[in-house]
Amino acid sequence: MKHILSRMLLVAATITFYSCDKDLGLDTKYDNSQSTIIPDPDDNYNPNKVGEWDQFTLSDKSIINQVDADMKGYWPDGKLSIIKDDTSGKYICFWGEKYSYRTEADTPYPEDHISQVTEANRVFGQGISDIAGFNDGGSWFIGVHKLADGRLAGFFHAESHWPGDGIAYKSVGVAYSSDNGKTWTSGEKILNVNFPKPTTPTWSGLGDGCVVYNKELGKFICYYSAHIEDEDFKICMAASDANDGVSGSWKKWNGSDFAISGFDAATGLGGVDHKIEGLSSIAGANPSVMWNSYLKRWVMVYSSWGQAIYMSTSEDGLNWEKPISITDKEEPATYPNLISSKGDLEGAVIVKIYYGSNQNNLGIRDFAYRTITYK
């Protein structure tokens, strides 16, 4: 996911950093008068009451110590995926990096898992599940889901690099685990762009996304970033009706329906990517999406190429509101993740947002989080 760094350096060199707070007026839009008070997750929760998605408080920033973690200084680097072990009651977190890690703790919160991000807990990715031309540059889990047959489906961002170069041709794949995520199949591609890997190093492909299961639609949906002709890398989506999200079952959004091939094994390619119209005003990548039972809506956060975090919402997961900036323009912020007391797929009144803060030109960043409390 080093493409994010290269894009950020390009933006910093060519334009003044921007944030939507110049339009919204963050000081008045969000009430931070009690920003250091973090209530209990169940406080004020009424299942019959619906909150407003753009009315919330945002707490002061906390920093997670990652000094002893493998790949220290590079967290987060994409999606954090969490499931609950029904037997032990513990939460299992899968950390997306070129090596993907598996950790266990009593809570879903990364600060309680970070000490286990060690080389011994690498379970997928570079050096473990390499397939030349597909994920030889690494595999980042972007969504892990329990299946009806007891297996786990692990959707992942894949990168293929050129020899001696970190530039990536990106795609999305799926792997399966029969032992609660300790070992995985090698993985198969599910989404690709409509052109093969270039002969010369070129940032290309699609990915930097997340995968959720939309119960109302009966579909897995992958939200990802892809280059839109004559524009930029915008948020797109694809869906699978298959109960395991298997390769060959995915269709890309065409602007009104999921009707374009995600990946054709015969050609090795997918169809043309189309942006999500409601999100098209802000180019970016690395969405984190969860259902919010208090708002009765899907909530998405993602990072712009200007290193600002934006939030949007949708009633159906298809039609999205115009994004609003939720970070201060003085703090460069990337790789956002929404995590609640239930994990990364569902939240309510209180949700934590984890992200990379103040990333430097070497990609080193602080692992920060704030607490969002919806009114």
Per-residue confidence of the chain (375 residues) as pLDDT tens digits? 655 555 544 444 333 333 333 233 333 333 333 333 334 444 444 555 566 888 899 999 999 999 999 999 999 999 999 999 999 999 999 998 999 999 999 999 999 999 999 999 999 999 898 999 999 999 999 999 999 999 999 999 999 999 988 899 999 999 999 999 999 999 999 999 999 999 999 999 999 999 999 999 999 999 999 999 888 999 999 999 999 999 999 999 999 999 999 999 999 999 999 999 999 999 999 999 999 999 999 999 999 999 999 999 999 999 999 999 998 878 999 999 999 999 999 999 999 999 999 999 999 999 999 999 998
Q: In this structure, are strands 284-292 and 346-347 parallel, antiparallel, or unpaired?
A: parallel
Handedness of CA 55, 60, 61, 64 (dihedral sign): negative
Whole domain around residue 221: which residue ranges? 3-374
Q: pLDDT tens digits, residue range 75-110?
A: 999 999 999 999 999 999 999 899 999 999 999 999
pTM comes to 0.88
| CATH code: domain of residue 17 | 2.115.10.20
Report the DSSP beta bridge partners of residue 139: 158
Amino acid residing at 149 = D
* Helix segments in the chain, DSSP class H: 3-14, 21-24, 26-29
Please give the pLDDT value at position 329: 79
Q: Per the structure, how many domains does the chain have?
A: 1
CA angle 282, 293, 56 (to 5 degrees): 55
What pLDDT is recorded for position 50? 64
AA letter at 241: D
What tens digit of pLDDT does each residue of 245-257 get? 999 999 999 999 9
Strand-strand pairing, 233-240 and 250-253: antiparallel
d(CA 111, CA 94): 13
